[in-house]
Structure 1
């Protein structure tokens, strides 16, 4: 019985050595393939790290944003710095990774990005509303639509909780504080262009139907009052009455 156990153990050891020998021989015969696989994995790792670093990089100019971010309409986070004639100035907030982010941000200058509200032509009242609604350092999300010169055309969203976000572009049109405009930098024949344009146009039509903002209709009393004020005959009569009153007093 002990002899049979010993024979079985020797057989198992011999089998294990044969497997190891076969694997070693296979590796030697396919050394180039093994090296290629190792190189491929290393390159893939470098690419992943490089992409991660781009996500952790603070963008201070539209030209620094990778083209693929624009093409895929990636959303980036930022905080409002000021309201401008055409939109906003927003400081980009990159993805934070402990240790690595602190090393990268030491060499980066906090220059805000110039952001235009994609598909919206702001009115002066719209700019006033933006100033009141978006406080300094307010966190916003920028969905990148296109890049033109040194400006980004974006859908700007204000976080309203876990599930709800307020799209500033749509809100301005719903309140009648702006008009729809061409989506600069997008192909007018593309599906994205027509999908976004239809979405914004729907908001503008709702504001027009409700008489919001610039679409507000004056009621009959206001129209009559304004017509009387602007009537030249009535203005002349008022002047004569004033002149006669002065003459009488003298």
Structure 2
């Protein structure tokens, strides 16, 4: 038997490989997620951006987002999909301790409900497995606004401190989160230096009004006054 025929025999004995025309990563961009646990781990690890629409914001800062797939499948291929599904992703702005003023700002000033949003998830909140920390950017007619940065820049939120265990753990193991926090801390320093929002200082008028009373107490308790009396 010739060498060519031996090669042919060996090749014929190998099992045929099934080639998937759409690999698993491509297929993910056609999927719609209704719960944060459905989002693939690679999306958390790599900070892959997703898009959606803000549907609700509650007083605790939880943002409910309707996820939209990156690419829509033709209707004929949407097997078993319900267009009436109302399960939204529960998200929280990553790294932020938001003040009530910050919640009002998102609701009344930015009016984020109903607006398109681009977001990347960081991790699932510890002890709250139905909520994910996220980096969110809303789309307005003339500009895009990163909500995490905006609240810090206005002084309406603080970056979590090192006493927050979950925050520290995420910093150590998620490079995307570390970069976000570095950016937020820079904005926080500017807000603090300018006395914005939570960092607002007493105005000079208030200080001047309080000054005479303070001065009177100091003078009254001084040794010179006591000696004269």
TM range, normalised to the smaller chain?
0.7 to 0.9
| Unaligned residue ranges in structure 1 (runs of 5+) | 1-21, 230-250
Q: CA deviation at 1:100?
A: 5.4
CA deviation after TM superposition for structure 1 residue 208, in Å: 1.0
* 1:166-220 deviation line (CA, Å, top 9, x unaligned): 2110010000010001564854334444322211100111111122112122222
Q: Which protein has the bigger helix share? A: 1
Select the structure with the greater relative contact order (CA < 8 A; seq sep ≥ 6). 2
Offset of 1:68 from its aligned partner?
Answer: 1.8
Give the 5 Å matches for 1:53-92.
Answer: 53-84=27-58, 85-92=60-67
The answer for unaligned runs of 5 or more in structure 2 is 214-229
How far apart are 1:31 and its partner, in Å?
0.9
TM-score (norm 2): 0.74
Q: Does 1:115 align with 2:91?
A: yes
**Aligned to 2:74, what secondary structure does the other structure show?**
coil
CA distance, structure 1, for counterparts of residue 139 and residue 83 of structure 2? 29
Rounded to whole Å, the distance in 2 between the matches of 1:135 and 1:197 is 22
Residues 131-146 of structure 1: matches in 2 within 5 Å?
131-132=107-108, 133-146=110-123
For these two proteins, the number of residue pairs brought into alignment is 202
SS at structure 1 position matched to 2:102: helix
1:129 match: 105
TM-score normalized with structure 1 length:
0.68
Counterpart CA distance in 2 for 1:205 and 1:129 is 20
Instruction: Map Cα deviations across residues 128-166 of structure 1 (whole Å, 9 max, x no partner).
Output: 01102134321001111111221110100123579x632
1:214-233 aligned within 5 A = 214-225=198-209
Is 1:175 matched with 2:151? no
1:99 equivalent to 2:75? Answer yes
Does the 8 A contact of 1:146 with 1:186 survive in 2? Answer: no
The RMSD of aligned alpha carbons is 3.3
